[in-house]
Amino acid sequence: MTSEVLINVGPGETRVAVMEDGRLDEYFVERVPALGEDETRRGRSGHSILGNIILGRVQRVLPAMDAAFVEIGQERAGFLSAREARCLAEMSELNGEAMPPIGLCVKEGDAVLVQVIKDPIGDKGARLSANVTVPGRLLVLVPQQKGLALSRRIEDEAERERLSALMARVAEDPDAMRGAGYIVRTVAIGTGYDELRDDAAAISSEWRKIEAARQSARAPATVWHDLDPVARTLRDNVKADTARVLIDCPEAHAEALAYARRAMPHMAAGISLHNGHETLFDAYGIEDEVDRLLDMRVDLCCGGWITIETTEALTAIDVNSGSLTGANCLEETGYRTNLDAAAEIGRQVRLRGIGGLIVADFIHMGDPENIASVLQTLALSLGRDRVPTQILGFSEFGLVEMTRKRTREPLAKFLTEPYRGCLMGGRVKTIVTVANEVMRRIEREARCQPGRSLLVQTSPDVARWLKAQEEGAMHRLRARIGNPLKLEARENYGRMRFDVTPVDLQ
C-alpha cells in the first residue's frame, strides 16, 4: 500500500490529507487563531491545544464525581478524573488501593502539571491527565512512570523482542531520562539503536526544559506546546510506506525540511513543494471529497449505501442494499453489502472524526461464517486507526456497537453549526468555514488570473469576518497572491453564497 501526505497551508487554516493508494484515508484541519480572538477560546475555534502541557491550578475537587476541575487558562476549566490523576497520589497513603480517590491525588488550590488529552468540545472543557508524556518521532517519554510499552500495532513477536532489547540499552544511556518510562511507536519498526537513542535523548532534553519552565511559571500557564501542524503531521503521519509529502506553501515547506533533517533525515528527499497550475487539493480531487464528508449518505461500490447520523448520545450507521441485485438470495445480498459497508465504516469514522458510542445496523444475516467475516472486515478497517476503538459482536437485534476515543470535535460539528430552517440536517457551515472557502477561491482565481484585480462578493456576516482579518489572514492572503482585492458585502447573499470575479478596478 502506497501512502502520500498532502498539506495545504492556507492563510486561515492548515489542512492535511493522507492518501492510501490514491484514495483519501485521513483528514485533519487546524485553524490559525483569528486576529483579535479571545485567547481563552482558542481551543474551541479550531486551534488545537491537544498535547499541550500546562501548569494548572485546582479549582474544585468533587468527590461525588471522583474528579477535579483545573484552571488552565481556557474559557472553561479542564476536567481531571481520578484515573488520570492517580500518579499524583502519595504511595504511603494508598493503602493498597489501585485507584485512589481524587481527594488523595489533589487538593483545591494545588498547582499541578497536566496535559490536554482531549480538546474542548461543545460546552465541555478540555480533558486532562497528570501523567504527562513527551512524544518524539520513534518514542514517547513517560517521565512519571517506569517501564517499557510497545505500540499494539507492532504485532511481530520477533520485532517486539528486538525493540525491547534495544530499549533496555537506550534506558541506560546518559542522555536519556533515568527512571522514566518509554512507549515505542509503530514507526520505530526496523529502526536501530542509534536512532532510538537519539530520539530518547531529544525528548529527554524537552522534558528537562519543561521542568525548568515549570519552576518559573505561575499557574495557569502553558509550559510546553506540541509541534505546529506541519511538523506534527510529519512526526505522526509519515510512515515507512509514505512515498512522498507534498506541501503547497514555500515557508511551510522550508520548515518541514528543517524538521525532517533534524528528526527523520531519510524522509527529507521525499518532501516536495507543490507548484502545479491547480491548487494541491484540487489536483487530487480532495475538495469534493471533503464536501461529501458532510453528507449523511455514503454510496458503496456494490450499489448499496450507508447513512451516518450523529446525535448527542451516539452515532447511528444504517446499511442499505440499494441497487444490489446480482446476488442469488437474500443472505448473499446482505453479506456482500455488509462486507462493503464494514470496510467503508472504518474509513468514514476516521475521516469524520467520529467518537464516542457508534451503533451500526447491518443487514440481517443467518450464516455464522458470514457474520464472522463481516466482523473481521470491520475490525481490520477500524484497526488501521491510530485512535483506540473497541467493537462488540452482533446483538440479537443485528446491531454492532463500537466505541472510539473522542479527542477532537467531529468534522461536521467543527465545520458547521445548528441553524433552524436549514437543510443538511439542521446545520449550516460556520462563518469561519465559509470565510476560509472564500480565501481558497481567491487563491484559485489568482492562479488563473495572475496580477488581475479580483472582486470578492459575500454575505454581510462573512464580509465582516474577512474585513476584521485585514492584519491577519487577509494580510497573509494578499502577500501570497499579489492580486489587488476589493471586498463587497451583498445583502441578498446567504451565508454560503459568494463570488470571486476578475474585474478592472479604478
pLDDT exceeds cutoff 80 at 430:
yes
Chain centroid, CA 426 distance in Å: 25
| pLDDT the model gives residue 206 | 95
Separation between Cα atoms, residue 124 and residue 81, nearest integer Å:
14
Phi/psi for 19 (5° steps) reads -105, 135
pLDDT (tens digit per residue) in 447-478: 888 889 999 999 999 999 999 999 889 999 99
- The arithmetic mean of pLDDT across residues 162-174, rounded, is 94
**Grid cell listed for 200:** 530518547
| pLDDT the model gives residue 99 | 76
% of the chain beyond a pLDDT of 90: 69
What band does 419 get if pLDDT is binned at 50, 70 and 90?
Answer: confident
| pLDDT the model gives residue 38 | 46
- The arithmetic mean of pLDDT across residues 77-101, rounded, is 79
| pLDDT the model gives residue 296 | 93
| pLDDT the model gives residue 79 | 96
| pLDDT the model gives residue 241 | 83
| pLDDT the model gives residue 42 | 42
pLDDT exceeds cutoff 90 at 398:
no
- The single-letter DSSP state of residue 424 is H
Report the mean per-residue pLDDT for the chain.
89
| pLDDT the model gives residue 91 | 52
More confident residue, 102 or 90: 102
pLDDT (tens digit per residue) in 262-285: 988 989 999 999 988 888 999 999
**Count of C-beta atoms within a 10 Å radius of residue 156:** 10
**Grid cell listed for 248:** 503547497
What band does 208 get if pLDDT is binned at 50, 70 and 90?
Answer: very high
What band does 45 get if pLDDT is binned at 50, 70 and 90?
Answer: very low
pLDDT exceeds cutoff 70 at 413:
yes
Separation between Cα atoms, residue 404 and residue 54, nearest integer Å:
26
pLDDT (tens digit per residue) in 48-88: 888 999 999 999 999 999 999 999 999 899 999 999 999 88
Of 139, 118, 142, nearest to 128 by C-alpha is 118
pLDDT exceeds cutoff 80 at 423:
no
What band does 40 get if pLDDT is binned at 50, 70 and 90?
Answer: very low
pLDDT exceeds cutoff 50 at 39:
no
**Count of C-beta atoms within a 10 Å radius of residue 451:** 9
Report field, pTM of the whole predicted structure over 0.85: yes
pLDDT exceeds cutoff 90 at 347:
yes
What band does 331 get if pLDDT is binned at 50, 70 and 90?
Answer: confident
Alpha carbon dihedral 377, 383, 387, 389, in 10-degree steps, equals 60
- Residue 219, exposed/middle/buried by CB under 10 A (0-12, 13-18, 19+)? buried
